[in-house]
Chain A
Amino acid sequence: MNGNGQVQQFALGPITVALRTDIKALRQDYGTLYAPYACDAGMAPLIKIDALRGPWVPWRRRRCRIHVNQRLQFEPDRPNELLPFVEWAINWEIPNVLNDHVVLHAASIQVEGCGIILAGESGAGKSTLAAGLLARGGKYLCDEFALIQTERRELSPYPRAICVKQPSFPVVESLGLSLVGRPVYSKGFKGLVRFIDPLSVRSDSIGQRCRPELILFPKYVAGAEPALHEIPRAEAAMELHRVCFSLFRGGRNAVAVIADVVRAARCYRLTSGEIHQTCRMIEGLASGREWSLARSA
């Protein structure tokens, strides 16, 4: 690593990120996306990202080296890969540094004050559902993680930009979230993506700390009628355990937190189909309107 590059610092919920880069386009892209969260560089950041040009090698495209807390994580070589890989590097580091939270691979959102965890593997439709609920008035917490504060068992907002994958571009536009003018990036094998700053949707779009009361395991099935199937809490806990990044440190505590959270929540498998219908169903559950209907289904 060399000593070049300007440092910008951002505070997103419990995560503070310092980005040092000598690549102007990345500085502009990241700085623009997270401008509302820029903070004083005097704070000690949890995550230090150094995205610096690598050495020039004849006959090869010059790569960028992305170090996270001084560890080399990625070496993207195309300009439109830089921002997604910086985001990815931050995601990789969060479970290592966020000691007072249990980190789940799940979207989290607040609807009518009800904290919702949408847990699932990559491609299950978490980000699209989070974008859908946000567009319909929900408060955004995060599209990639459910960060559960261990003492209070509450979800913390981590308002990173929503990462929309190419197959979801038309769906997201149908929600009224314009993608026009938002740059298209390449996220390796995950394909092309665009980012949406949740604050660009509404100025009050970021949620507050809240108790998770609904835990959903969505699976997108094209053309399917949205359906809910209530599952036993132990099954939900095992599913959350599977997507928990905090087990390798403090596994005992993480399992206790998951058990407590599940105990206080209603848990469902969700077959998601048409986005508005699916969102309506989730909103109904969150407000308690369809609780008895879903229970008997």
Chain B
Amino acid sequence: MPKRPKQENENLPEQRDDLELHKLDDEALLFDPLTSNTHRLNNTALEIWKQCDGTHKAADIAARLTELFEVSLADSQLHVDRMLHELRSLHLLVSEEAAINRILFEST
């Protein structure tokens, strides 16, 4: 019986483990082998990305950003929500849909 794909815990965003990160100064490139797309992460996006390890809630990530950058918690929360929304729409976080895509890709 096929293994059930890992589902994202909406509260604990987690990076897909097949993505490749290339750090360039304080920014990074993120390569997605499924789509062959490369995404550019600026320094704020990179910090958010680093925190998406399946152990931090969005609120924790926002709090971390306020420590690193001089932004209010409200602004930080807004950035984090937007970024997580974008990461989900690009299927860069662990989710049932991303896992199915990966299984389909690997089986072809």
Give the chain A neighbours of B40 by CB distance below 8 A. 234-235, 237-238
Interface string of A1-40 (1 = CB under 8 A from B): 0000000000000000000000000000000000000000
> B24–A256 contact, CB under 8 A?
no
Tell me, rounded to whole Å, the shortest Cβ–Cβ distance linking A117 to chain B: 16
Q: Does B70 contact A (CB under 8 A)?
A: no
Tell me, rounded to whole Å, the shortest Cβ–Cβ distance linking A257 to chain B: 10
Residue of A233, A241, A262 touching B38 (CB-CB under 8 A): A241
Residue of A237, A247, A252 touching B20 (CB-CB under 8 A): A252
Whole-angstrom distance between the alpha carbons of A238 and B42 in the complex? 12
> A233–B36 contact, CB under 8 A?
no
Give the chain B neighbours of A201 by CB distance below 8 A. none
Residue of B25, B28, B36, B42 touching A251 (CB-CB under 8 A): B36
Tell me, rounded to whole Å, the shortest Cβ–Cβ distance linking A233 to chain B: 4
> B33–A259 contact, CB under 8 A?
no
In chain B, positions 1-58 with a C-beta closer than 8 Å to chain A are 20, 22, 24-25, 27-29, 31, 33, 36, 38, 40-42
Interface string of A240-263 (1 = CB under 8 A from B): 010000011001100110110011
A234 and B25 contact, Cβ closer than 8 Å, known pairs A251-B31, A252-B31: yes
Give the chain A neighbours of B38 by CB distance below 8 A. 237-238, 241, 255
Give the chain B neighbours of A251 by CB distance below 8 A. 31, 33, 36
Tell me, rounded to whole Å, the shortest Cβ–Cβ distance linking B90 to chain A: 15
> B29–A263 contact, CB under 8 A?
no
Which residue of chain B lies nearest to A259 when distances are taken between CB atoms in the complex?
B22
Tell me, rounded to whole Å, the shortest Cβ–Cβ distance linking B59 to chain A: 28
> A256–B28 contact, CB under 8 A?
no
Residue of A232, A241, A252, A256 touching B25 (CB-CB under 8 A): A232
Give me 6 A-to-B residue pairs in the complex whose CB atoms sit less than 8 angstroms apart, sorted by A's number. A232-B25, A233-B24, A233-B25, A237-B29, A255-B22, A262-B24
What residues make up the interface of B, taking CB atoms closer than 8 Å to A? 20, 22, 24-25, 27-29, 31, 33, 36, 38, 40-42
Instruction: Report, nearest first, the 3 A-B pairs whose CB atoms are least far apart.
Output: A259-B22, A234-B27, A233-B24
Give me 10 other A-B pairs in contact (C-beta within 8 A), A233-B25, A251-B33 excluded: A232-B25, A234-B28, A238-B40, A241-B29, A241-B38, A252-B31, A255-B20, A258-B29, A259-B29, A262-B24
